[in-house]
Amino acid sequence: MADQQEAIRNYQQQASESDPMIQAIQEEIGRTLTAPTLDNKDLPTNFMGSTPLLEGEIFRAVNLTKSYGTGAGYIEVIKGLSFSVQEGEYIVILGPSGSGKSTLLHMLAGLEVPNRGEIRMRNQVIEKFTDDDLALYHREQIGLVFQAFNLLPSLLVWENVAFPLMLAGAPLEWRRHEALKVLDRFGMSDFATHYPTQLSGGQQQRVSLARALVHDPDLLLVDEPTGNLDSKAAEVVIAELDRLHKQENRTIILVTHSQDFLPYADRVFYIKDGTLLTTSPNEQSSVDTPQ
Ligand code: ADP
Ligand code: MG
């Protein structure tokens, strides 16, 4: 805990005028980035990981730490990172390349295990999952979207979208029905019987969004979704995510280096040196209604 306080002080100092990214974010959201604390003001001050989630809270990460072994020893990529997410929130985590965004997202998705810390999703502790629990977490609770789309080239578009339902053992007709329904929501039904390679990057990313949503997950985890797109295609994906948040009330955690997402977020975090800078909660209202 003392380490964490020390880290907070360090990063507050570093969140100075010397970082153009931080300055740009502050200008964009009209607020100052401050300490990387858990920003739910109702949490007890002696808060420890194993406290159950509060009313309205869907997800929480506490004191996450992750290191990788390299030839030269260990590098600590994530260093005591904490945050909490309310149902229906759109959280954007910004950071430059190599700042640990994908590492963080993979841990939240249960694809990588933190060295320390705790991740809770609806009062389940992810680190305690058995293999079966983890499979259920992926099949039912979260939807994942990656920069590189990760569509299966040998499957048709609708089969890609229906893939999570196939893993869940759903019958063929129902899978096809659900896949077409969600493709339609993304304006992609005309491409249902195409192969992914026949689509543009922007279209592939919309298919990948459809696949992430076909099982109606509680939480969407998105990694750099516009990283492989030109600016026009990126705009469409940004607008789709905004629609998912505003119209479908989806809970979204998105990591990116692109400031284009900032105006749409309920809250913005900046990842730097393995932990988060955030905006102070008492100023929250100014960002609730982005123009
Ligand atoms: P970002 O997504 O923000 O670009 P990453 O999470 O991919 O950052 O990587 C953060 C740091 O962790 C980088 O220095 C990267 O080289 C290192 N890293 C990521 N994955 C591994 C791994 N499997 N083994 C060793 N180092 C890794
Ligand atoms: Mg990354």
What is the reported pLDDT for 71? 84
Q: Kindly state whether residue 124 falls inside one of the protein's structural domains.
A: yes
- Name the percent of the chain lying above pLDDT 90: 69
Q: Kindly state whether residue 206 falls inside one of the protein's structural domains.
A: yes
What is the reported pLDDT for 279? 66
- Name the percent of the chain lying above pLDDT 70: 79
For residue 7, give Cα distances in angstroms to 37, 277, 290.
10, 11, 31
For residue 134, give Cα distances in angstroms to 23, 94, 122, 198.
39, 27, 14, 33
256 C-beta closer than 6 A to ligand 1? no
What is the reported pLDDT for 285? 41
Q: Kindly state whether residue 266 falls inside one of the protein's structural domains.
A: yes
Of the ranges 27-31, 193-197, 275-279, which is most confident?
193-197
Could you list the residue range(s) of the whole structural domain that residue 94 is in? 2-282
- Give the integer Cα–Cα distance in Å for 73 and 69: 6
Phi, psi of 141, rounded to the nearest 5 degrees = -105, -30
Q: Is the pLDDT of residue 47 over 90?
A: no
Q: Kindly state whether residue 288 falls inside one of the protein's structural domains.
A: no
Q: Are 259 and 12 in contact (CB under 8 A)?
A: no
- What's the pTM? 0.85
Task: Indicate which ligand has the atom closest to the C-alpha of 107.
Answer: 1
What is the reported pLDDT for 259? 93
Q: Kindly state whether residue 287 falls inside one of the protein's structural domains.
A: no
Q: Which DSSP string do the residues of 189-239 spell out, in sequence order?
A: GGGTTS-GGGS-HHHHHHHHHHHHHTT--SEEEEE-TTTTS-HHHHHHHHH
Q: Which of 64, 65, 68 most suits a substitution to test ligand 1, by most atoms within 8 Å of the C-beta?
A: 68
Closest Cα to atom 15 of ligand 1: 98
Residue of 267, 212, 202, 268 lying closest to 235 (CA atoms): 202
* Identity of residue 46: N
Q: What is the mean pLDDT of residues 189-210?
A: 97
Closest Cα to atom 13 of ligand 1: 98
221 C-beta closer than 6 A to ligand 1? no
Closest Cα to atom 16 of ligand 1: 98
Q: What is the mean pLDDT of residues 79-84?
A: 92
For ligand 1, the distance from its centroid to the CA atom of residue 109, given in whole angstroms, is 16
What is the reported pLDDT for 34? 62
Going by the DSSP 8-state scheme, the letter that residue 84 receives in this structure is E
Q: Kindly state whether residue 191 falls inside one of the protein's structural domains.
A: yes
What is the reported pLDDT for 236? 93
98-131 pLDDT, tens digit each = 999 999 999 999 999 999 999 999 989 999 999 9
Angle between helices 201-213 and 172-185 (to 10 degrees): 130
What is the total count of domains within the chain?
1
Task: Indicate which ligand has the atom closest to the C-alpha of 223.
Answer: 2
Start-to-end CA distance of the chain, whole Å, equals 38
3-state secondary structure of 132: helix
- Give the integer Cα–Cα distance in Å for 251 and 91: 8
232-291 pLDDT, tens digit each = 999 999 999 999 999 999 999 999 999 999 999 999 999 988 999 886 544 444 444 444
Most distant CA pair in the chain, distance: 58
Closest Cα to atom 5 of ligand 1: 100
Q: What is the mean pLDDT of residues 9-23?
A: 54
CATH of the domain at 125: 3.40.50.300
